[in-house]
């Protein structure tokens, strides 16, 4: 029991609060500096979405630091135990309790957004419709069984299941409805196909690994795969190369059926359809810098249609999805050339929670300082009355 009390006292201590806040400041400082070298996505993943990170101090000294995920988890426990459970409950001074509750709510909002939010983009040319949007960073291997006119059943292997494969024996993926096993032998986060005749070439082509781009969405991954019969895993295999920017999928006959293999960005289905009717853009005189651009669109859902406009700083919010006007192209288009828009798409179940948390924190602090001011003024009034 004595040990439990010490642990409880440590988790609720002001010392732990100060240490966690100082570590968070250091993490934000080092993570911000590393964005110039790693890029925004990679720095965020390493420093703020991890339990532990090793920072190269002065470029060579390995400095271990707790990651943002671990620090915020400990801070949540510290505030819950110290500021809510252990703190004296004085109903005459509820402001600080309310403010701390708002901070806890803000941390929970970040956790929900990190766990459940999805982000992607929807590119559309004028006159084109779309009801699916794709991820910026996540990829997947798709195995589609082809029918006479379209794809039938589709089997998905998400990126997290093969992104850690290097140059070893690879990893085998099996599904009882497929007449073969698929083995991912090599995975390159960024690659380019080139002519070659090595051991990992297919029909005179092979994948050349490239350094990762600082802008993560510019990486184009590639994988070398082989197909095996489930009953004969050591028999000769059919090799194939899947590349993220391939123009057509790799097709193969197996057990009298045709299958298409591709490496594509992860996609999500929208419960409605958006059609780009017209794209408008203005530039500053004498420059190519965008001054304003917007998309005039039709939203179709359940047989009903309505016109919507998505422009800079004026997103569309519908059915839990938010659409921002992110970019457009081609930037070198001549008058009369078809244009396309790129909409950034976000679905975040906790999208409004930070605003609610800020309101709770503000109300708590105003109440606390308002009560303190009232008590001070009351004491001053009594002091003046006593002197008179």
pLDDT tens by residue, 40-81? 888 999 999 999 999 998 888 999 999 999 999 999 999 999
The torsion angles phi and psi of 254, rounded to 5 degrees, stand at -150, 125
166's tokens: 């290097």
> pLDDT at residue 120 above 60?
yes
* Side-chain-side CA neighbours of residue 275 (13 Å): 9
CA distances from residue 104 to 64, 80, 248, 301, 355 in whole angstroms, order as listed: 27, 7, 49, 38, 13
The CA distance from 135 to 128, in Å, is: 19
Gap between the Cα atoms of 248 and 226, Å rounded? 18
Of the candidates 322, 345, 350, 311, the residue with the CA atom closest to the CA atom of residue 132: 345
The pLDDT of residue 339 is 82
| pLDDT tens-digit map of 354-370 | 999 999 999 999 999 99
The pLDDT assigned to 346 comes to: 95
Q: Which residue has the tokens 């051991």?
A: 199
Please answer whether residues 122 and 315 qualify as being in contact, where contact means their C-beta atoms are separated by less than 8 angstroms: no
How large a percentage of the chain has pLDDT more than 70? 95
Q: CA 185: distance to chain centroid? A: 27
- The DSSP code for 168 is S
Bridge partners (DSSP) listed for residue 306: 299
Residue 151 has pLDDT above 60, yes or no: no
Q: Would you say residue 138 has pLDDT above 80?
A: yes
Question: How would you classify residue 319: left for phi > 0, otherwise alpha for psi between -120 and 50, otherwise beta?
Answer: left
Confidence of residue 110 (pLDDT cuts 50, 70, 90): very high
pLDDT over threshold 60, residue 235: no
pLDDT category at 104 given cuts 50, 70, 90 is very high
The 10s digit of each residue's pLDDT in 274-295 is 999 998 887 777 776 777 888 9
Average pLDDT over the chain, rounded to whole?
A: 89
Element (H or E) spanning 356, and its range?
helix 353-387
> Residues with Cβ < 8 Å from 227, sequence gap 6 or more?
180, 181, 182, 183, 237, 238, 240, 252, 254
pLDDT score for 155: 93
Q: What is the pLDDT of residue 167?
A: 66
Report pLDDT digits (tens) over 13-29. Answer: 999 999 999 999 999 99
Model pTM score: 0.82
Query: How many C-beta atoms lie closer than 10 Å to residue 249's C-beta?
Result: 19
pLDDT tens digits, 206-231: 999 999 888 888 999 999 999 988 76
Q: What crossing angle do the helices spanning 14-38 and 68-79 adopt, rounded to 10°?
A: 160
- Can you give the pLDDT at residue 303? 87
Q: Which helix (H) or strand (E) holds 355?
A: helix 353-387
**For the chain, what's the residue count?**
388
Cβ atoms of 183 and 174 within 8 Å: the answer is: no
Q: Are strands 191-195 and 181-188 parallel, antiparallel or unpaired?
A: unpaired
pLDDT at 96 over 80: yes
């Amino acid at each position: 029991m004595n040990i439990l009390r010490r642990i409880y006292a440590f988790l609720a201590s002001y010392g732990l609060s100060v240490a966690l806040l100082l570590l968070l400041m250091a993490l934000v400082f080092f993570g911000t500096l590393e964005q110039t070298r790693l890029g925004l996505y990679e720095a965020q993943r390493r420093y703020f979405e991890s339990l532990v990170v090793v920072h190269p101090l002065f470029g060579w000294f390995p400095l271990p630091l707790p990651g943002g995920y671990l620090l915020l988890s400990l801070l949540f426990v510290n505030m819950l135990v110290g500021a809510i459970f252990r703190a004296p409950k004085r109903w005459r001074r509820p402001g600080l309790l309310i403010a701390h509750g708002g901070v806890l709510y803000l941390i929970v909002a970040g956790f929900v957004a990190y766990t459940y939010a999805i982000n992607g983009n929807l590119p559309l040319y004028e006159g084109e419709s779309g009801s699916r949007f794709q991820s910026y960073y996540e990829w997947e291997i798709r195995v589609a069984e082809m029918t006479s006119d379209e794809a039938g059943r589709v089997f998905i292997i998400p990126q997290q299941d093969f992104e850690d494969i290097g140059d070893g024996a690879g990893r085998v993926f099996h599904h009882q409805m497929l007449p073969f096993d698929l083995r991912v032998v090599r995975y390159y986060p960024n690659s380019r196909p080139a002519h070659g005749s090595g051991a990992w070439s297919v029909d005179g082509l092979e994948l050349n690994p490239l350094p990762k781009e600082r802008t993560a969405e510019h990486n184009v991954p590639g994988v070398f795969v082989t197909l095996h019969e489930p009953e004969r895993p050591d028999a000769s295999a059919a090799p194939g190369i899947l590349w993220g920017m391939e123009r057509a999928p790799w097709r193969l006959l197996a057990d009298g059926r045709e299958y298409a293999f591709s490496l594509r960005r992860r996609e999500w289905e929208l419960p409605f359809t958006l059609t780009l009717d017209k794209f408008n853009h203005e530039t500053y005189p004498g420059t190519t810098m965008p001054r304003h651009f917007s998309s005039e669109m039709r939203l179709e859902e359940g047989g009903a249609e309505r016109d919507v406009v998505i422009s800079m700083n004026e997103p569309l919010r519908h059915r839990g999805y938010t659409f921002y006007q992110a970019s457009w192209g081609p930037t070198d288009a001549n008058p009369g050339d078809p244009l396309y828009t790129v909409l950034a798409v976000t679905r975040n179940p906790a999208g409004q929670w930070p605003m609610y948390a800020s309101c709770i924190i503000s109300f708590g602090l105003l109440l606390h300082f308002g009560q303190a001011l009232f008590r001070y003024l009351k004491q001053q009034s009594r002091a003046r009355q006593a002197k008179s």
